[in-house]
Amino acid sequence: MGASFHGFPGLDRPAIRRRLMAWYRRTRRDLPWRRREGDGYAQLLAEFMLQQTQVATVVGYFERFLSRFPAVTDLARADVGDVLALWSGLGYYRRARNLHAAARQIVEEHEGVVPRDVKALMRLPGVGRYTAGAIASIAYGTRAAVLDGNVARVLMRLLAIDDDPKSPVLRQRLWQVAESLVPTRRCGDFNQGLMELGATLCRPNSPACVQCPLRRECGAHALGLTGRIPRPGRRASVRSVEFVVAAIRRGRRLLFARRPLTGLWAGLWELPSEPVRPGESPRAARDRLRKRLLASCRLSVTPATHTTRQLTHRRVTLHVYMGGVAPPASTHQPRRSFARDGRLPAKRFRRSAGSSPCPARWLEPSDLPSVGISRATHAVLKLLSF
């Protein structure tokens, strides 16, 4: 790893390694990526999916991805839209785009083999120090440390460090502690043991110290400080944003538009939407949205329903207006204004004045698995019984 392994007085490192690894071997959960521990691609996939997502949610996605893209070359060849579609519902879609870009880089620069080396791994899009350490140690037995939120909490408690867990100085120190603890052999098991301990016993609230294999080495346990360590972090501020959404029906289908490739829900498909500007009423945003739709599209005057979604730093409210397509009444609006494949003429649907036209399509419920859709759009579709 390049960094020095100083060691820290007060920690019985051999005892910690021995007890943690014995406990991990005895109690580890049977997870699909643990059945493929020597497989760099499977570990890459698992680590991308596990970033900010619960294990139970990831299991099904991991299996579907491996079944659809069994090798890194299959993933690299895939269209990013198909990757986003398969990722639908897992959230944090930037991970899916980074995963796809990383697969391409692995094929182009590493002959289709996930690198073993932490520095090479960290040059892949979306791979930070933690992810690189996890892949290198679990897939290849490379001696590398990991430090995520779970591991940081365990280390802070072992050392009885009562500090702000987000402090950069503390993070640096914890990385050094993690590096000093990694054994030379079976380091993947050791790292997974630390992560497993943080996820299952050394929880943020009410840690199960009585079952913990490290209770004899734990400073916080000895000093009765487990309730104080780590300190609650400062809450990130949450911004409220609103959108108006057009649910335009045409028979069994709804009109969908693709979001731009940057920003919120980048590249995903949604019901056409327009942000409500600060100080503006949803009605004014609805009028703007109406102007961007085809002349033949009608839109209700008031919203039929709304839903609020909590994202990491945003609370998003969606006001849903119902709409339809008027039958062709004159030669000015011939039905052939829709192309045969159901595409809306792109030049008629712009995200905002001066922006590029966005692709639009009519989709029916059976089409949804083939396109990437955010959880927020899924929530709207559920409200519409679509």
Q: Classify the phi-psi angles of 52: left when phi > 0, otherwise alpha if psi is within -120 to 50, otherwise beta.
A: left
Cβ 17 to ligand SF4 shortest distance, Å: 14
Give CA–CA dist 87/69, Å, rounded.
Answer: 12
Task: Tell me the DSSP string of 196-214.
Answer: HHHHHTS-SSS--GGG-TT
Residue closer to ligand SF4, measured from CB, 182 or 201 = 201
Binding residues for ligand SF4, rule: CB under 6 A, are 154, 157-158, 201-202, 207-209, 212, 214-215, 218, 220-221, 226
**Which value, to the nearest 10 degrees, does the dihedral of the CA atoms of residues 346, 347, 349, 351 take?**
110
**Strands in the chain per DSSP E:** 239-250, 253-258, 269-270, 273-275, 297-299, 305-310, 314-325, 360-363
Residue closer to ligand SF4, measured from CB, 152 or 276 = 152
**Cα 246 from chain centroid (whole Å):** 26
Antiparallel, parallel or unpaired: β 239-250 and 314-325: parallel
Give CA–CA dist 116/240, Å, rounded.
Answer: 42
Taking every pair of Cα atoms in the chain, the longest distance, rounded to a whole number of angstroms, is 85
Catalytic residue (one of 47, 196, 217, 274): 47
Cβ 159 to ligand SF4 shortest distance, Å: 10
Chain position carrying tokens 């959230």: 91
Cβ 194 to ligand SF4 shortest distance, Å: 10
135: tokens are 């892949």
In a 13 Å sphere around the CA of 382, the CA atoms on its Cβ side amount to: 8
Beta-carbon neighbour count of residue 262 at 10 Å? 8
Cβ 216 to ligand SF4 shortest distance, Å: 8
Residue closer to ligand SF4, measured from CB, 139 or 194 = 194
Residue closer to ligand SF4, measured from CB, 90 or 218 = 218
Is 274 assigned a catalytic role?
no
Give CA–CA dist 367/291, Å, rounded.
Answer: 27
Residue closer to ligand SF4, measured from CB, 178 or 271 = 178
Residue closer to ligand SF4, measured from CB, 182 or 380 = 182
Cβ 230 to ligand SF4 shortest distance, Å: 10
Which residues form the catalytic set?
47
